[in-house]
Amino acid sequence: MPKKGRAFSKLKRVRNIKMMDLRSIRENPQKYKEACRKKAVKADIDGILRLDERRRTLLSEIEEVRAKKNRANEEIKDADEKKKKEIIERMRKIDKENEGKEEELKEVKRELDVKLREVPNPPLEEVPFGESDDDNKVLREEGKKADFRFSPKDYLEIAENLGIIDMKRAAKTSGARFGIIKGKGVLLHFALVNLAFDVACRYGFMPVLPPVMLKPEMMEGMGYVERGGDEIYHLEKDDLYLIGTSEQIIGPMHSGEIMKKEELPLRYIGYSSCFRREAGSHGKDTRGILRVHQFEKVEMFSFARPEDSPEEHELLLRIEEELMNLLEIPYRVVDICTADLGDPAAKKYDIEAWMPGQGEYRETHSTSNCTDFQARRLNIRYREKDTTRFLHTLNGTALAIGRTMIALIENNQREDGSVVIPEALNDYLPFKEIAKDED
């Protein structure tokens, strides 16, 4: 579990973020205690309840003091001078008494705010319980694995030999965990982007090219800061954060807004560079472009009514699988267990691609239903009849470009070191293979 980093300590000053529903915690504290247990997260639910009770008591007492002052103001209108002095003195005592309560209320609210940020989104009932990613449940395997008549190579050996990935020059210019994509690798990169956009747009997703820098309060609103702050790049001079995925900036696009019921589901598909410090992966996947500080991704994001979000989640998964099938990459679908869910997710699926050169499945996609966790924090609602409700937010990887390229190279390699391009990309590229003797 990632530790809270500098990002969290800096963001403690942010206000006006609606955290978990206090009424819900008050009415069903066991639900949230169980959610924390299932997600292996420490959060002080009993402390929240005590602070909430004290907050409500103080609010009641402050309101009573204000009522006393209002009555005193009425009395003073018809009072003689002696009586006025008595009333004024009484009001001074009331003000002094109230000042202490106001200060205590501010402190209680501050403490409550900090504790509420620690409460994760409860997992849905159907999510499998688990204590680590070893407990994730494989739902199915799809696609036919290639029957190589030779020993398949690792993608990096193939790509460097073909001149489409250059790790050495990237290390020279930028350091470890960076790669330079070159030549036909770049054209393949953008062919994958175009395929993802074409498929998603058929389902009503609106394309967006978002900024890659995000305000602190918006990053916190999305719920990725309390645990995992060390993974986020922070530009201290500008007080801006570099996004780790475009979902982090697409969600806040509608912060503070009230949508119409008829607009939902509202679907976006965004392409962006993404930045991640990989602070918790020291010594892991240090070769190549599988785990790097900067990568490109096409991400889907949906705003949906609560009753429609389970179906929307399944749609995101279907689109991810459609893309994998078009690219003819063998894969498996994994139901993520409770302890492997991030704070915002109530349910999550991963897709893991078969990597024959590595002899294992590796994650290429994820899709999460975050229910109203992010919408509540960002105050995003929709109007239904005479009331407003918090909507649900969902996200899903269309294609993580670097990892998809890895899977394509390994699954489509030939014995001579060339790589065959899947038929689905033929309309996007002026070539059908990448061979060493080509520029």
> Which residues form the catalytic set?
276, 291, 363, 366, 403
For residues 169-195, one letter each, b for 16 or more C-beta atoms within 10 angstroms of the residue's C-beta and e for the rest, the string is ebeeeeeebbbbbeebbebbbebbbeb
* Cα 348–Cα 215–Cα 242 angle in degrees, nearest 5: 65
* CB of 164 closer than 8 Å to CB of 182: yes
CA-based R_g, the chain, Å = 27
Q: What stretches of 118-260 show up as alpha helix (H) in DSSP?
A: 155-162, 167-174, 184-201, 216-222, 247-250
Question: In 3-state terms, what secondary structure has residue 71?
Answer: helix
Rounded distance, CA 251 to CA 23, Å? Answer: 24
Residues in the chain: 439
Rounded distance, CA 217 to CA 219, Å? Answer: 6
Rounded distance, CA 420 to CA 403, Å? Answer: 17
Tokens of 246: 């475009």
Region of 51 on the Ramachandran plot (φ > 0 left; ψ -120 to 50 alpha; else beta) = alpha
